[in-house]
Amino acid sequence: MMKRQLHRMRQLAHTGSLGRTPETETAEFLGEDLQQVEQRLEPAKRAAHNVHKRLQACLQGQSGSDMDKRVKKLPLMALSTTMAESFKELDPDSSMGKALEMSCAIQNQLARILAEFEMTLERDVLQPLNRLSEEELPAILKHKKSLQKLVSDWNTLKSRLSQAAKNSGSGQGLGGGPGSYGHTTTANKVETLKEEEEELKRKVEQCKDEYLADLYHFATKEDSYANYFINLMEIQADYHRKSLSSLDTALAELKENHSQAEPSPSMMAAPFSRVYGVSLGAHLQELGRDIALPIEACVLMLLSEGVKEEGLFRLAAGASVLKRLKQTMASDPRNLQEFCSDPHAVAGALKSYLRELPEPLMTFDLYDDWMKAASLKEPRARLEALQEVCSRLPQENFSNLRYLMKFLARLAEDQEVNKMTPSNIAIVLGPNLLWPPEKEGDQAQLDAASVSSIQVVGVVEALIQNADTLFPGDINFNVSGLFPAATPQDQVSDRPASEELPAIAVPAPTPAPAPTLAPVPPKERTESEVPPRPASPKVSRSPPEAAAPTEDMARRTKRPAPARPTMPPPQVSSTRSSPPAPSLSPASGSPVIPRALPRRLVGSSLRAPTHFSFAKLREACAHLRDPDCLLVATDRDPWHPLSDGSRTPGTGSLAAAVETASGRQALVVGKPSPYMFECITEHFSLDPARMLMVGDRLETDILFGHRCGMTTVLTLTGVSRLEEAQAYLAASQHDLVPHYYVESIADLMDGLED
């Protein structure tokens, strides 16, 4: 036995050195067609096994059980049972009770259709695939291995027989006669090997015939194996057709019964109007209005008691109060007086209305035109472009935008008190007035859409600052007369010429439908008259020296808002004032105003170094002479803001001192380096696409977020300002431009909910 195995190993080594393998030896018995069939055996077995495994995991019921047991285990049947238990507690004549009862029946029916589908799938697809991968193909591959072994043994035996014949011939040449003992032994050995070779040859032929028959059988049944996957899709299609038919029938019956149900007396007593979430045109047509109900109601309430409220539109209101206000707006808009004392809730209701419009107030069609106007650097050209885009707004959009801009300009007049400059107002309201249409595109298009909100701020800020120029004429905010008597603030006239922008002068527009009539002078218009949008604006230029007082009123605040820069921002040298602290004793019933916290407070809790001396620097240099000593820095922030508005040196300044003194370069493992982030994501298997990077510094926090593939949010209560992001955007340094921004961390949760 050991001798035979030794001969086999020698034969395998010999054939391997000649480049022959068992596969090549068996291939000699096959034609070209059968060789191609043989190459498809292993892939077919793997495909059948993998598909069976994944398809088995798709089953929701218990495999192999009968219909009743399988149905009981389905989640749809559990849902149907829960519905059946729930509608028993409801009034059977109520619309909800009837809908729940019918839904219970249809879920039961869908569960049975699903159980029938899974049983058919097991019978016609899963079981045949299992037989193919576990029985039929393994049997063919087993015959292949047997043939390979027999062929190898046969070749080994033929080598031994050839060697024995050579030995017998050499023995006779050395003088061994035919009758000698050695000659007889050698002859007997040769004869035995010949008999073994004949027997092994017969087995090879028999195994070869069986293997060839298996290959022919597999080749003829390949089409039937492909039918398994066709049957799978046919069974799935039949299941979905039955499910859809059942759903269509039940849904039609449910809608018919629901439409015939009589409304309850309470609903008839308080009819609801379509206000939030419907298009502007449909809302105005249904109520017969020129100005949207939420816009007029909220503006009048804010003019009554809210224009001097600090942080209006920036600070969030209580969710319950806001929800109740929106419901009252839709059901009983005449009884809104109770909300006048909560201006933040009123401002939130106005923002919510603008945000929930199916199409923004400034329209999708003109989005690119607004962006082009915002990209113009020259103020006169920008204002001309904005005037032209305004003229192309639909009439209802123009009237409501004019109404809103007039109010926001009135709000900005009290910026010394409410801290809401045109820039701040544009930051919080701009994304609710204009946003890009949703399009399926590549990542570059998505990134461009994400940074466009910064340009939107520039558009809205310019509209507020130039409201009297772009929307000339007086305005009566109580247009409908639906609300209580007008307050002194309801009437807003054009500001004196000394307060307007002297850079350009726009003549009063003439009504487009009646060009032959003389336009009414501004002073002779009635208070309720709203001038139409200009048909084709003609902008005349005034002398250059007249542009000096431009935007003077919008600069005397803690956060200046100049026009968008045309170059990257210089190093910021002026310190920023801390956010205003909330009142220590808020009014009764008013929501608690969150305080905008600074980015980080450096103190003993963060273990910032209390002293950094020459001796410590020299000690660090001594250690860094050793090339194995690693210099690691957490970040390169040169300074950090303190709560009192001052600065403290950051890690970057300390690291720079050590680098300069030692001549070594520090390994930065924190922001903006993705080193630590990659370690964290790899350890916890996190997806950066589902993470949010919030920070106050463009050069570290926002750059870090882009490098790590996260969505970025800039908070404006820390180091960087919106103007710097606009400058980076203009310079095409998109890695330093955030996807979104918030006025403070307190606004972040509201933004995430939106």
Arithmetic mean of pLDDT over the chain: 75
Spatial contact of 398 and 390, defined as CB atoms under 8 Å apart = yes
The string of pLDDT tens digits covering residues 109-167 is 999 999 999 999 999 998 998 988 888 888 888 888 888 888 888 888 888 888 877 77
Rounded to the nearest angstrom, the gap between the alpha carbon of residue 540 and the centroid of all alpha carbons in its chain is 46
| pLDDT for res 613 | 82
Residue bearing the bigger pLDDT, 342 or 494:
342
| pLDDT for res 670 | 82
| pLDDT for res 571 | 38
CATH of 280-514+526-543 given 1.10.555.10, 1.10.150.120, 3.40.50.2300, 1.25.40.20 = 1.10.555.10
Spatial contact of 312 and 425, defined as CB atoms under 8 Å apart = no
Q: Does 2.60.40.10 match the CATH number of domain 31-173+180-257?
A: no
Domain ranges for the chain: 31-173+180-257, 280-514+526-543, 600-668, 684-754
Query: What single-letter amino acid sits at 41?
Result: L
**Distance (Å, whole) CA 519 – CA 469:** 17
| pLDDT for res 245 | 92
Decide if pLDDT at 233 tops 80: yes
Q: Is residue 254 very low, low, confident or very high in pLDDT (cuts 50, 70, 90)?
A: confident
How many other C-beta atoms lie within 10 A of the C-beta of residue 333? 18
What would the two tokens of residue 450 be?
């994400």
| Mean pLDDT to the nearest integer, 492-500 | 42
Q: Does 3.40.50.720 match the CATH number of domain 600-668?
A: no
| pLDDT for res 602 | 33
| pLDDT for res 334 | 79
Whether residue 672 is preceded by a cis peptide bond, meaning omega within 30 degrees of 0, is: yes
The string of pLDDT tens digits covering residues 615-655 is 888 888 888 888 878 888 888 888 777 766 677 888 888 88
> CATH topology of 280-514+526-543 equal to that of 684-754?
no
| pLDDT for res 19 | 52
| Mean pLDDT to the nearest integer, 476-505 | 52
The string of pLDDT tens digits covering residues 538-555 is 333 333 333 333 333 333
Decide if pLDDT at 537 tops 70: no
Domain 684-754: give its CATH code.
3.40.50.1000
| pLDDT for res 178 | 54
| pLDDT for res 589 | 38
Residue bearing the bigger pLDDT, 163 or 735:
735
The string of pLDDT tens digits covering residues 181-208 is 556 777 787 888 888 888 888 888 888 8
pTM for this structure? Answer: 0.41
Pairing mode, strands 632-633 and 667-668: parallel
Residue whose entry in the numeric block shows the structure tokens 């007082």: 549
| pLDDT for res 467 | 92
Q: To the nearest 5 percent, what fractions of the chain are helix, strand and coil?
A: 60, 5, 35
| pLDDT for res 574 | 36
Decide if pLDDT at 52 tops 60: yes
Q: Is residue 497 very low, low, confident or very high in pLDDT (cuts 50, 70, 90)?
A: very low
DSSP secondary structure letters along 168-209: HHHHHHTT--TTSHHHHHHHHHHHHHHHHHHHHHHHHHHHHH
| pLDDT for res 603 | 32
| pLDDT for res 108 | 92
Greatest Cα pair distance in the chain: 147
Spatial contact of 79 and 39, defined as CB atoms under 8 Å apart = no
Decide if pLDDT at 220 tops 60: yes
